[in-house]
Structure 1
């Protein structure tokens, strides 16, 4: 067992040793193991059959091997990484498969066919050589199509962009499978029939396909077929900045699962009376950002990022911290504001990194107090209360549940990096809470786990799977979709996909996406908003009466779930703060092992919540208070806590957000003006010339 190389990894290893995953088996892991075992078994059977020789087994093992390869590339791509780490990548596996077929033919054949078999083997070698040549040319083509700037919602046609080469020519695994399939099939047919014409025909067909692929790629290296070069792209980007003249932007860097953090600030940014832009650092993130009309630029390299210093950009807002944030903070002409992607009582909501920004924009007084108490270096004068603009559209509480059903949203957070037992309720309380809710026939449960659940602690992932199984079991006796509603939902989904996907497929590379993701049509943002609202209405209407839901996709959004929810059960997280905008009842699971009094004192966002213990004993009484508002003793506390966490209702959060942007833009312009003024000469400087530093003789500068 390898020794953990960091304290965090060491603590995680200890937790795994003391608390091994329990419960239901990991079905994806079992499937991966079975597929890997099938491929290894097929290879072993092929080797035995080739050396025996045994024709039926040889043909069957070859067919099984090819079928498993197809399954790997279609459904189990993670297994490919495992084989690659063992130096058994697709090339090695394919060569071994064909080699065993040739060995089998030699064992089965007669001496007078050695010349024919030698020619077939030579043809196979040429096929592999052409595969290597195609791979080399493919790499060169990919380099010419890797631009220093990636954009979206910007007309980049001047960069001579073109569609991507066929995917089969860009992906080595797919290419070798497709181009080598005729040769492998021909060899297997020859082994079965003892007719060498099948092998010869298969090899010739594979050679023809390989030559056609090479001929399709080579012209893309010609100067007239390449996209613009690096300097040409940078000059074009500078010209676009000068023409568009952005004033405020959103800066984001992170992993693929964190795109939602940027997504929640898109609409507030788009509603500003400004020229907004989104600045990204990772190329893959360009396609991960939700639909928006705002221009998007991805600047992977620091020198390219520094070109923003000479632009009109005045303010960048930051919804998250990342290692690459420090790079953009070096630009002195831009003011930076940290807006966070959510606020909670966790230590992450008052990270010491926040002091690196010019200002920290928070929702309400509670966050200001949180920074003051944390003493992380953020001065009170740099904290600006703007509310939460995203919550302006959340529907307020309209009274007790309408109709028979009480909709409960269980939205636990993830386990976090520090291993604290109170981070998430999924492990110790999740199943008890779900069982208690499902036991009430008048409850409709919406289960929305955090996207990162189980990414650190395997126990959280196992508990999440068990919760989903409980919900599936509860739904088995239910009715199907409502008549006519599923057709309406399919229509609305098709309309929304048409507006948001622009017909992209997985085979498009970044250059092709830039070509097809040009400036959107005017009014598309409003059309997307209308289509999203229509889809959400159709989605909720299509659900069978009382059917419980596991919500893991981007649609419906968390805020859409708020609007149909009568009660929230969550952990200490930003979900509580956001849900308070509705004024509806909420409960928090106390899994930290603290007394209720200590728990409330430690986490101010719990002040207006019903505290639930891990055994979920308080769920029936909680549901009773939701259904009968006269029994709800926390309504006044919720109103007071809402004011403390989110600030006043007037002016609206969007207005306060705009005011903060204008003020920081004004500060940025003032700073630029002072930088551009002639500065008095410092001692040692020569008037009228370049600054110099007088160094005594005998000393180096």
Structure 2
């Protein structure tokens, strides 16, 4: 009997979980009643219904499984209860002398569940042997005896129990209907056979010749790779799932350096989330492994963000650390007191230097280095007013932030008003690109984001006009990009398998990706009608690609403004801070060359008029001056200034090492022995690669 349930997407998540839980509970109650009465038809219907709900849970509502597990009603409990009620039903339906006949079935079920528990225990052991202390990408790791991961079914207890136990459940149900015990016996035997086969497959992976390299062997291999590759400059990153873009914006500038770069990560999941690059990627989850970098040739680490784990790598004195940030704005987070922990703070232009001085967070002016923004080389300069009948407006609000400041994002107080005002102009094509973290702190921002998307889709449905001729170029470029940038691993691959498959990138892959990305973006915009609005949330097209097609930016006080200024195009900032406009401009220097909009969006028509008619634009000269102040001079190019800063800090690191080597060489041997004795046994027992020198040079 099919289970008639609304698709989970048609109900709110909490209500869907409640409905499924109620149906599942009712099915178990009905199954218990049918087993005790007994009633064959009700037992069949209830068992089928409970299995159908299990399928819905694993297909669409995996979050509900966690809630059931917290209530001690996980899949094992549910499956055992379902089979137990079937056995009770068989005993109640059969005659007295058939209880002995069903005893082997009960024993077979017990054996199946014991085998299931054994499979789970061995799968944990296999997972531990495949969890290496170092995870890499773009590095040949074939020496570590890596192999493909076990099938996903053997690693996930819930789906495994459902699938392996399905023959037993189906056989018991068939016996309840037909009275033929052979159905149940065959089902139980098949389930037990599946479990034993899975157990054997996993046990084979624990044989000495089938295991990956052990921990010490992996660490020795990593030390040897460091000695052979001899990295000089690295990018250090630690963060959450949605923060990978912060590291991604520095990949191309890092790859363009005349150096031996490396990317150092701390979270295992982040290895797969870093964008396509030919740079070696190394994940060092443990502090003891991280400290092995102290004895490497690594001289400089660049930090695009602050995190709790940043303090761990700052303890390495032989490496110089520069905070490069992932964007600059007038927000307080752009002058975090944590910045004083770094050797240097690299900023785009004079405005950021002044910002640190005014913030008084402990960053000395001598440690601030202006390098520009090398990422902005991809942003095309202003080429005049819109050439066609439509003004392309990019609305890119920032997220709500951690501090609850109402001025952080315009989404809650002004977003819908802005979008309605823009959509009301028939000559506007709107691009909406929200921040990836929108709604992560304040649910109101997430709700406003969803309503804005609905407004844009409704406006698109009401529009019509000529469409460009169909082109296969976007699909072709996308397919080639996916081939070059995909993990090239099957969906069930674990980290060890990914290390094996992603060991060496194709020669020239990064350049090919850049070329194909540019071709895809050009084809993507060419394939869109000029009048069609667009919600942009995917990785492609990038924010800078949106800059290049936009005639106007509307945003909040964020790094988006600073980056957009590289184009010289008009921009507007929505004032939701509650400050008067004069105070708002004084508080946020990046607003100096912007049109300030109120939350009611009353100034949108005049703003659009100034974009269409540049002679009415009174802020063009102010934008040019602000661009110089925020981003620094155009000559020398930012990439050259970035490279010069890297070389200078590398030289400082080498000088520090030379001074330390000279001091150690000048020490009297007897004094060294006394110092070692004073340090006690803890010093001599320190793990390999962990230095006790924690001072900053």
TM class by shorter chain equals: over 0.9
Q: Give the 5 Å matches for 1:157-306.
A: 157-306=142-291
Q: How far 1:400 moved relative to its partner?
A: 0.9
Q: How far 1:607 moved relative to its partner?
A: 0.7
Q: Match for residue 89 of structure 2? A: 104
8 Å contact from structure 2 (residues 108, 188) kept in 1? yes
Q: Match for residue 335 of structure 1? A: 320
Q: Match for residue 496 of structure 2? A: 511
Tell me, in whole angstroms, the C-alpha distance in 1 between the residues paired with 2:679 and 2:392. 76
Q: Does 1:373 align with 2:358?
A: yes
* Structure 2 CA distance for partners of 1:61 and 1:404, relative to 1, 3 Å: farther
Q: Match for residue 685 of structure 2? A: none
Tell me, in whole angstroms, the C-alpha distance in 2 between the residues paired with 1:159 and 1:264. 32
Q: Does 1:82 align with 2:67?
A: yes
Q: How many residues align?
A: 672
* Structure 2 CA distance for partners of 1:91 and 1:691, relative to 1, 3 Å: closer
SS in structure 1 at match of 2:150: coil
SS in structure 1 at match of 2:205: helix
* Structure 2 CA distance for partners of 1:25 and 1:207, relative to 1, 3 Å: closer
Q: How far 1:638 moved relative to its partner?
A: 0.8
Q: How far 1:551 moved relative to its partner?
A: 1.3
Please, which moves more after superposition, 184-193 or 170-179? 184-193
Q: Match for residue 473 of structure 2? A: 488
8 Å contact from structure 2 (residues 115, 196) kept in 1? yes
Q: When the two structures are superposed, what TM-score results if normalisation uses the length of structure 1?
A: 0.92
SS in structure 2 at match of 1:322: coil
Q: How far 1:460 moved relative to its partner?
A: 1.2
Q: Does 1:550 align with 2:535?
A: yes
8 Å contact from structure 1 (residues 481, 543) kept in 2? no
Give the RMSD, CA atoms, in angstroms. Answer: 2.2
Tell me, in whole angstroms, the C-alpha distance in 2 between the residues paired with 1:485 and 1:251. 44
Tell me, in whole angstroms, the C-alpha distance in 2 between the residues paired with 1:476 and 1:694. 75
8 Å contact from structure 2 (residues 412, 444) kept in 1? yes
Q: Match for residue 435 of structure 2? A: 450
Q: How far 1:685 moved relative to its partner?
A: 5.9
Q: Does 1:391 align with 2:406?
A: no
8 Å contact from structure 2 (residues 568, 624) kept in 1? yes
* Structure 2 CA distance for partners of 1:185 and 1:483, relative to 1, 3 Å: farther
Q: Does 1:63 align with 2:37?
A: no
Tell me, in whole angstroms, the C-alpha distance in 2 between the residues paired with 1:243 and 1:125. 55
Please, which moves more after superposition, 506-515 or 479-488? 479-488
Q: How far 1:107 moved relative to its partner?
A: 2.9
Please, which moves more after superposition, 122-131 or 24-33? 24-33
Q: Match for residue 151 of structure 1? A: 136
8 Å contact from structure 1 (residues 282, 300) kept in 2? yes
Render the CA deviation track for 1:630-661: whole Å, top value 9, x for unaligned: 11111111111111111111111111100000
SS in structure 1 at match of 2:440: coil
Q: Does 1:92 align with 2:92?
A: no
Render the CA deviation track for 1:151-201: whole Å, top value 9, x for unaligned: 000000001000000000011112111111111122222233333222221
Q: How far 1:545 moved relative to its partner?
A: 4.2
Tell me, in whole angstroms, the C-alpha distance in 2 between the residues paired with 1:492 and 1:67. 41
Q: Which runs of 5+ in 2 are unaligned?
A: 1-8, 681-697
Tell me, in whole angstroms, the C-alpha distance in 1 between the residues paired with 2:35 and 2:97. 20
Q: Match for residue 569 of structure 2? A: 584
8 Å contact from structure 2 (residues 347, 368) kept in 1? yes
Q: When the two structures are superposed, what TM-score results if normalisation uses the length of structure 2?
A: 0.93
Q: Match for residue 421 of structure 1? A: 406
2:297 to 287, 312, 319: 312
Q: Match for residue 695 of structure 2? A: none
Tell me, in whole angstroms, the C-alpha distance in 1 between the residues paired with 2:631 and 2:207. 59
Q: How far 1:150 moved relative to its partner?
A: 0.5
Q: Match for residue 8 of structure 1? A: none
8 Å contact from structure 2 (residues 487, 498) kept in 1? no
* Structure 2 CA distance for partners of 1:98 and 1:667, relative to 1, 3 Å: same
Render the CA deviation track for 1:381-430: whole Å, top value 9, x for unaligned: 00000011100111111111121121111111111111111111111111
SS in structure 1 at match of 2:393: strand
Q: Give the 5 Å matches for 1:296-695.
A: 296-478=281-463, 482=467, 485=470, 487-679=472-664, 686=671
